[in-house]
Chains A and B, each alone.
Chain A
Amino acid sequence: MDVPSSSRNLRSILSSLTEARPGERAFATKEVSSVLMPQGQTLALSETEKVIAYLHKVTKTYDKQGRSLSIDLDIRQGDFLFITGISGAGKSTLLKMLYGEEKPTSGEVVVDGTRLNKLRGHSLSCLRRRIGVVFQDYKLLPRRTVAENVAFALQAQNFPKAEIRRRLLPTLKIVGLEEKAEHFPEQLSGGEQQRVAIARAIVHTPVLLLADEPTGNLDAGNTWSVLEILRQLNDMGVTIVVTTHDETIVQAFAKRVVTFEQNQLVELDVR
C-alpha cells in the first residue's frame, strides 16, 4: 500500500495546511480553555483534558418496545476513541447523534460548544462544517474525480476557489492519493476509495473526525493502511472517533475504548 512513508513528511504537509491564518480554523489549535459543565459550573481543564464533545445523560429509544440506549461520554481533544460492540448495539446511533443525524430522546449532546438536541436546517449544516464523517460505504460521487470529490466538500461550504486549490493537493498527499487525483472512484480499490473519503472528511480541517465502520468493507491490508492514516492524523492532533466490531484493530490502535453492555455505554480499560 502506498501509504505516505514517513510521519515527518506528513507532519510538514499538515502544518502547511494548518498554518493558521488569522481567524482560521486549524488542527489542534482550537483553544477551549474552559468548558461549561452540565451542572453550570465552569471548570478549567488542563490541556490534555479539553472536552470538545460530550453526551450527557443521553438516552435514545430505538424500538417500539421502548428499549433505549443510555450514554454518558466525554470526547477529549486528541482522543483516538473506539466505539465497539456487536452490530445493532448502537454504535452507529451514537455516531449519528454526534453529527446530528439522530436526536437523543433525552439528555444533552454538545459538539464544539454547540448543543445538537434540536439543531436543524442551516445551524446543523454550520455544525457539520466543523466535523468530518467517514462511512463504511465511502459515499463518494461516482461521476466525479477524486479531486472533485474532495473539493466538493469545500465547494459546499462556500470556500473560495483559491483556498480550495491551496488545500486540495496537501490533503491528497496525506492520504497518499496525489497521483490519482484525476481518477474516478470506480477506477480505485476499496482502500483507495476510503482514503478519498477520509481526504474529503479532513480537507476542511474539522475539530472532530467521525468514522463509522471505516474498514468494514476492506481486506486486512487496506484496513491497516486506512487506520495507519487515521493514527497519523491523530498524532497531528485530530480528534477521532471510530466505530468497529473488529477487535484486532481496537487492540492495535485504540487509545480509548467504549462499548455497549446491555444498552449501556461503558468505558473499557485499554492498558
Chain B
Amino acid sequence: MVFVQQVFTRADFILKETLTGLRRGGWMNWAAVSTLVILLFLFGFGTRLSWQLQNAVATLGSQLEVSVYLTPEASGKKLMQKVETLDGVQKVTLQTKKDALSQLQKEMGLKQDLTQTLEGNPLVDSLRVKVATPEQVTTVAEQLKAVPGVAQTRYGGEAANRLIQIDKTVRWIGLGVTGLLGFTAVAVITTTIRLVVLSRRKEIEVMQLVGAAPIWIYMPFLLEGLTLGLVAAMIAWGGLHYTDQFLAQQIQVNVPFMVLEITEEQANLLPWILVGSGVGLGSLGSLLAVSKYLR
C-alpha cells in the first residue's frame, strides 16, 4: 500500500524526469527509434510470412487427395478397380481426358472445339484418389506410382514439403537479421540513455547521497528506454499494416490462386509481439546503460 502511495506521489516527478531525459536525448532518440523500427518491421514481416507459410502447409498437408495422371495409352476406367483395392484408398473418381478437355475449354472461355485446333486430345485420363487418413497419403502415392499406366502422382504433401523448406529458410534468415539488428538496437539505445545519464550525473550523485531509493533514480531512464521501444513498435506495426494491405492487393491481382493467410488470433497477436519486443529491447538498453551505476 505504502509503495502504491509512493508511486502516485512520485508519478509526476518521474514522468517529468522521463520527458526531460527524452528532450536531452535529442537526435539520439531518432537513431534509437529508427533502428528499432527497422528491426521490428523485419521481425514482424518475417514472423507473419512464417505464419502464412505454416498455415499453407497445414492446409496442404491435411488434403487427403492424390491426383494420379496416367500415360496417354492407359485407360482410367480399367485402372480404377485396381486402385480401389489398394490399402488406405477410400474413394476413387475418374476424370477422363474428354471431361478434362471440356472443363479446360470452359475455364478458358473458348467456344470452338479444342480437339480440332490441337489435332486430337493432348490430355490424359486422371484419377482423384481419396485417402482415408493423412498419414497414408504418402504410402498410397508411392504405391500408385508403381502401378503400370501411371505417369505421375501429385499430392498436397509434396507442395507442403517445399513450403516447409521455404519456411525454414525464412526463419533462419529472420533469426540472423533480427539477431544482428537486435544487437545494434540495444547498443544504440544504451548509448542514447548513457548520454542522458551522463548529462544528469550530478543530480544522480546528489540523489544517491541524500538517500533516494535506487528504483526512483533509475525509473526515469527505464521509462525512457521503454518509451523508445513503444514508439518504435507502433511505427513498425503501422508500416506492417500498410505493406500487408499492399501485398494482399498485389497478390489478389497477380497470383489470385495463392492463399497466404494468417488466422485472426495471429493477426491480433502480432502487434503485441512487436510491442513486447520493442519494450523489452528498450528496457534492456536502458538497464545496460544504468547497470554500472546500480550498486
Q: A residues engaging B (CB < 8 A)?
A: 99, 120-122, 124-129, 131, 133, 139, 141-142, 152-153, 155-158, 160-161, 200, 204
Contacts and interface: CB of A to CB of B under 8 A. Distances in A.
Contacts, number: 55
Given A120-B295, A139-B202, A141-B202, A156 B215 contact: no
A125 B9 contact: no
Nearest to B212: A156
Interface string B191-213: 00000000000110111111111
A157 B6 contact: no
Given A121-B295, A158-B10, A127 B211 contact: yes
21 contacts: A99-B209, A120-B295, A121-B294, A121-B295, A125-B208, A126-B211, A128-B209, A128-B210, A139-B202, A139-B205, A139-B209, A141-B203, A152-B210, A156-B210, A156-B211, A156-B216, A157-B211, A157-B212, A158-B6, A158-B10, A161-B9
A266 B213 CA distance: 36
Interface in B267-295: 294-295
A153 B214 contact: no
Interface secondary structure of B, over-half rule: helix
Nearest to B216: A156
A245 B208 CA distance: 27
Interface in B95-147: none
B13 interface: yes
A43 B294 CA distance: 38
Interface string B29-62: 0000000000000000000000000000000000
A129 to B, nearest CB: 4
A48 B294 CA distance: 39
Contacts of A133: 209
B238 to A, nearest CB: 37
A158 B215 CA distance: 12
Contact of B214 (A121, A141, A142, A158): A121
Q: Report the 3 A-B pairs with minimum CB-CB distance, sorted nearest first.
A: A156-B212, A128-B211, A129-B211
B219 to A, nearest CB: 12
A208 to B, nearest CB: 13
Interface of B: 6, 9-10, 13, 202-203, 205-216, 294-295
A175 B291 CA distance: 37
A139 B206 contact: yes
A122 B13 contact: no
Nearest to A140: B206
Residue of B205, B211, B214 most packed against chain A (CB within 10 A): B211
Contacts of B211: 125-129, 131, 153, 156-157
Nearest to B10: A158
A122 B213 contact: yes
A118 to B, nearest CB: 11
B206 A155 contact: no
A155 B210 CA distance: 10
A49 B213 CA distance: 32
Contacts of B213: 122, 125, 158
Contacts of A122: 213-215
B1 to A, nearest CB: 14
Contacts of A127: 211
Nearest to A135: B209
Most A-side CB within 10 Å, residue of B6, B13, B202:
B202
Contacts of B294: 121
B13 A155 contact: yes
Nearest to A158: B6
B9 A160 contact: yes
B20 to A, nearest CB: 10
A158 B5 CA distance: 10
A99 B205 CA distance: 13
A158 B210 CA distance: 11
Nearest to A153: B210
